[in-house]
Amino acid sequence: MIIEVVAVGTELLLGQIVNSNAAFLGHQFAENGFDSHYQVVVGDNFDRMVETFRTAIDRADAVVITGGIGPTQDDVTREAIAVATGRKMIRDEEYAVAMRTRWESLGRVMPENNLRQADRPEGADPLPNRAGTAPGLALEHRGTWIFAVPGVPAEMELLITEQVIPRLRRAAGDSVVLVSRVIRTWGRSESQVAEMLDDLFQASVNPSVAFLASAGEIKIRVTAKAETEAGAELLIAPVEAAIRDRLGSTVFGTDRDTIYRVVQAMLIQKGWTIATAESATAGLVSAALTRTPGSSAVVAGGITAYTIDAKAELLGVSRDLMALDGLVSEPTALAMADGARFRFGTDVGVAVTGEAGPDPAETDTGTMVIAVVTPEGRMARTLRLPGDRERVRTYATTAALHLVRLAVAGEWWAP
Amino acid sequence: MIIEVVAVGTELLLGQIVNSNAAFLGHQFAENGFDSHYQVVVGDNFDRMVETFRTAIDRADAVVITGGIGPTQDDVTREAIAVATGRKMIRDEEYAVAMRTRWESLGRVMPENNLRQADRPEGADPLPNRAGTAPGLALEHRGTWIFAVPGVPAEMELLITEQVIPRLRRAAGDSVVLVSRVIRTWGRSESQVAEMLDDLFQASVNPSVAFLASAGEIKIRVTAKAETEAGAELLIAPVEAAIRDRLGSTVFGTDRDTIYRVVQAMLIQKGWTIATAESATAGLVSAALTRTPGSSAVVAGGITAYTIDAKAELLGVSRDLMALDGLVSEPTALAMADGARFRFGTDVGVAVTGEAGPDPAETDTGTMVIAVVTPEGRMARTLRLPGDRERVRTYATTAALHLVRLAVAGEWWAP
């Protein structure tokens, strides 16, 4: 079953609000095994609404319309559905009475405008809205289902989960389940990952394979359709295994795993504590390590040493070493990590020194050196990162957490 | 000029990410006086992309496409534009050489996949992308402008503001100039600000006045239309003056000013240096103070003291004081700020201690204490912040920077 989502609202076109409803709906439909080919946003313009509804009704098996069903004059979704399907508007007198009674029970007089909410295209069922005043509607028109729900997220979500999804599942005969697994990796570029998995991607139908890059991570999404969740998992398993096999320790988690949680869990399992020494990232690594609740079990603290004096006096880095090797160098980074371990008495020390730009003092902008020292070993890596200052600092922070992950796992490599 | 936004990406249809790009674009276009009738989302499906592009090209004066221009096999926006406009694909050999050179300068070999980014429909211009690797493109096709930009928000925003908007304004022939001034405030709620400026808001036609809340800041946007930029500025000036007069030192800047830059400029002017002492924010304040280039002139460094031992040993906070007053208390925060000043030998010390949640140990989640000590005075304030752990930490960081701003300015108040 193919579902099209149409959002009505000039405020969406003007960027005054973000269409988070579309993401909610997309997620709900995907989880229920429905396909989605298009999402459309149209302003509060009657003719364009009619045209958009007609196109959607033509090309989809079900159309879900959000917004434009309130009581005010610019709420014309109901009327536009009537025109798009060639139906008259009918007033539901029973519903009108119920509305009046409801207002009276609240001790208020219903504004006459609100009566419009009792109007519906002929043949449509009301979808009662227990979170607000505007009822939704459901209409079967020549084999296509049309639903209209409020644009207010809380009301929309309630109507979708309680009323629209069950109706759609019944209409679809309920046979297909869709399961997605997101495999999260760090350490290779999107194009490298794509090349390593090219045959899986080319062959991918069910399960399908897709790539997604975000903030230095490459995610691989494997999506399977089957009659049951277990059946879909069986389709995913060999593909996931092949991907993990090829990508090795660049894979750090699945689905909602984050590097923050993964590192914290690994440190807890080892019984190790950690401290940071930062120059260019200036606290971002320490902030990232404490992002997850429970971090005080493993994080002792950190020192941002922005000046040479702070590096020497607070972290105990030798001034001769800094003069000889440079502030942005692997020996300096390792000495900073040693300093953090010593100062805080922790098992692990992680250090970042680098040139975030835009006016490099000593080395090229984007050169970041990361060092990790654990009871089992030491490593330092020099990365050259693209982008502006903020991006370089963010990427270096992510990289530092991943190098901690690899070092704690005893994997002494790094890109 | 009517602009249609088309977002390409199955991850949008599946609800894995929210289409915040569409809101950014809608806002940009509205600010520049362009109309927008539709926004469409289409998955990574070649035929449907072609169909969607054709429809948009037919009904709009300009089409802005986001996403699908990366290096991987499922990035087919370039090819779909070629088919939709009946053009061949051409490889830009000069661009291909530039790409190879760039990869080599980073000491890496470019995967052959990436060469696809040098392919474009015949007649299209590349839009260089200095924030990433995928270039955008601009193509005039029978009087309709077509732009393709990356889906990654930071890259998209840069290409839109620097390259697409100026081209669209030229194409539109634009006789009316629209000038906006954003007045940035911190320290009062949106409803307080709205109440203080209610008469200006009610009277606002040209210039218009609007409010916008984001991450603790309240922004007031004053927008004027005139035949020249100078004319628009003349309309804005008296309204801006009235707003500044009423809001006093809650106003900290305009337009692209950030609290990072404002604090840095104030410290440079005073000739003061600063150091941080952080518990709950764990480095976020230090990272924020160093976000702007040139921060090494004023920031010496900071200490994240996550444990009691670190607070005592590294910051010199008395263990008796912590036991008596509590870790999350104004005396402890002031002692931490003193410790930062002493350790780093700076003029200013700023400290944050608090309970970010979700499982409060000592005080309620969201209780954050901030202290600032300068050569001219001392202040500590206890804030109760709403939201989850990440939000509380972010708000406290912003608050800390604003308290530094007020203290450096000699304004010893705080909300």
- The single-letter DSSP state of residue A19 is -
Residue B78, pLDDT > 70, answer yes
Q: How far is CA A235 from the centre of its chain?
A: 24
Task: Please report residues of A whose CB lies closer than 8 A to that of B276.
Answer: 283, 304
Cα of B142 to nearest chain A Cα, Å? 24
Helix A389-408 crosses helix A259-270 at what angle (to 10 degrees)?
Answer: 30
**Helix (H), strand (E) counts: chain A:** 16, 17
Helices within A213-328 (DSSP H only)? 229-247, 259-270, 284-289, 308-313, 319-325
pLDDT (average), residues B24-34: 89
Residue B57, pLDDT > 80, answer yes
Residue A364, pLDDT > 80, answer no
pLDDT reported for residue A149: 96
pLDDT category at A414 given cuts 50, 70, 90 is low
Residues with Cβ < 8 Å from B178, sequence gap 6 or more? Answer: B31, B32, B33, B223, B224, B225, B232
Q: Are A95 and A125 in contact (CB under 8 A)?
A: no
Residue A73, pLDDT > 80, answer no
- 3-state SS assignment for residue A383: strand
Q: Are B77 and B116 in contact (CB under 8 A)?
A: no
Question: For B334, phi and psi rounded to 5 degrees?
Answer: -65, -40
- CA gap B397, A253 in Å, rounded: 30
Residues A310-322: tens digit of each pLDDT: 999 999 999 999 9
Q: Do B131 and A359 touch (CB under 8 A)?
A: no
Task: Please report residues of A whose CB lies closer than 8 A to that of B111.
Answer: 189, 191-192, 194-195
Residues B286-327: tens digit of each pLDDT: 999 999 999 999 999 999 999 999 999 999 999 999 999 999
| Higher-scoring residue by pLDDT: A104, B86 | B86
Task: Please report residues of B whose CB lies closer than 8 A to that of A16.
Answer: 23, 26-27
Percent of chain B with pLDDT strictly greater than 90: 66
The CATH class given to the B177-254 domain equals alpha beta
pLDDT reported for residue B357: 75
Cα of B246 to nearest chain A Cα, Å? 26
Task: Please report residues of B whose CB lies closer than 8 A to that of A212.
Answer: 11, 16
- CA gap B124, B147 in Å, rounded: 9
Provide the ipTM. Answer: 0.70
Out of A192, A278, A314, whose CB is closest to B111? A192
Report the DSSP beta bridge partners of residue B353: B369
Residue B133, pLDDT > 70, answer yes
| Residue reference for tokens 């980074």 | A333
| Higher-scoring residue by pLDDT: A142, A114 | A142
Residue B175, pLDDT > 70, answer no
Q: Which two tokens stand for residue A166?
A: 């069950």
pLDDT reported for residue A307: 94
Residue B236, pLDDT > 70, answer yes
Residue A357, pLDDT > 70, answer yes
Residue B114, pLDDT > 90, answer no
Sheet holding A217-226, edge to edge: A208-214, A217-226, A177-186, A251-254
pLDDT reported for residue A396: 95
Q: Are A271 and B289 in contact (CB under 8 A)?
A: no
- CA gap B381, B55 in Å, rounded: 57
pLDDT reported for residue A4: 97
Burial (0-12, 13-18, 19+ Cβ within 10 Å), B48: middle
Task: Please report residues of B whose CB lies closer than 8 A to that of A37.
Answer: 13, 42-43, 45, 48
pLDDT (average), residues B85-112: 88
pLDDT reported for residue A74: 76
Domain boundaries along the sequence of chain A: 2-172, 177-254, 259-408
Cis amide bond preceding B207, omega within 30: yes
Residue B212, pLDDT > 80, answer no
Task: Please report residues of B whose CB lies closer than 8 A to that of A343.
Answer: 314
Other CB atoms within 10 A of residue A125 CB: 16
Residue A208, pLDDT > 80, answer yes
Residues A83-112: tens digit of each pLDDT: 999 999 999 998 889 888 888 887 888 877
Residue B174, pLDDT > 70, answer no
Q: Are B357 and B396 in contact (CB under 8 A)?
A: no
- CA gap B357, B354 in Å, rounded: 9
| Higher-scoring residue by pLDDT: B99, B18 | B18
DSSP A298-345: TEEEEEEE-SHHHHHHTT---HHHHHHH-SSSHHHHHHHHHHHHHHHT
Residues B177-202: tens digit of each pLDDT: 778 898 999 988 877 888 888 888 77
- CA gap A96, A92 in Å, rounded: 6
pLDDT reported for residue A86: 96
Q: What is the 3-state secondary structure (H, E, C) of chain B?
A: CEEEEEEECHHHHCCCCCCHHHHHHHHHHHHCCCEEEEEEEECCCHHHHHHHHHHHHHHCCEEEEECCCCCCCCCCHHHHHHHHCCCCEEECHHHHHHHHHHHHHCCCCCCHHHHHHHEEECCCEEECCCCCCCCEEEEEECCEEEEEECCCHHHHHHHHHHHHHHHHHHHHCCCCEEEEEEEEEECCCHHHHHHHCHHHHHHCCCCEEEEEEECCEEEEEEEEEECCHHHHHHHHHHHHHHHHHHHHHHEEEECCCCHHHHHHHHHHHHCCCEEEEECCCCCHHHHHHCCCCCHHHCEEEEEEECCHHHHHHCCCCCHHHHHHHCCCCHHHHHHHHHHHHHHHCCCEEEEEEECCCCCCCCCCCCEEEEEEEECCEEEEEEEECCCCHHHHHHHHHHHHHHHHHHHHCCCCCCC
Residues B367-414: tens digit of each pLDDT: 999 999 999 999 999 999 887 888 899 999 999 999 999 999 998 766
Q: Do B15 and A28 touch (CB under 8 A)?
A: yes
Residues B318-346: tens digit of each pLDDT: 999 999 999 999 999 999 999 999 999 99
- 3-state SS assignment for residue A228: coil
Q: Are A19 and A50 in contact (CB under 8 A)?
A: no
- The single-letter DSSP state of residue A179 is E
Number of A/B CB contacts below 8 angstroms equals 259
Residues with Cβ < 8 Å from B392, sequence gap 6 or more? Answer: B280, B354, B356, B357, B365, B366, B368, B385, B386
The answer regarding whether domain A259-408 maps to CATH 3.90.950.20 reads yes
Residues A150-189: tens digit of each pLDDT: 998 889 999 999 899 989 988 887 667 778 899 999 988 8
Residues A13-38: tens digit of each pLDDT: 988 889 999 999 998 998 788 899 99
| Higher-scoring residue by pLDDT: B60, A106 | B60
Cα of A100 to nearest chain B Cα, Å? 33
Q: Which two tokens stand for residue A403?
A: 């190098």
Out of A30, A300, A393, whose CB is closest to B306? A300
- The fold adopted by the segment(s) A2-172 is Molybdenum Cofactor Biosythetic Enzyme; Chain A (3.40.980)
pLDDT reported for residue A24: 94
Most confident listed range (A158-162, A350-354, B67-71, B164-168): A350-354
- Amino acid at residue number B346: T
Cα of B390 to nearest chain A Cα, Å? 7
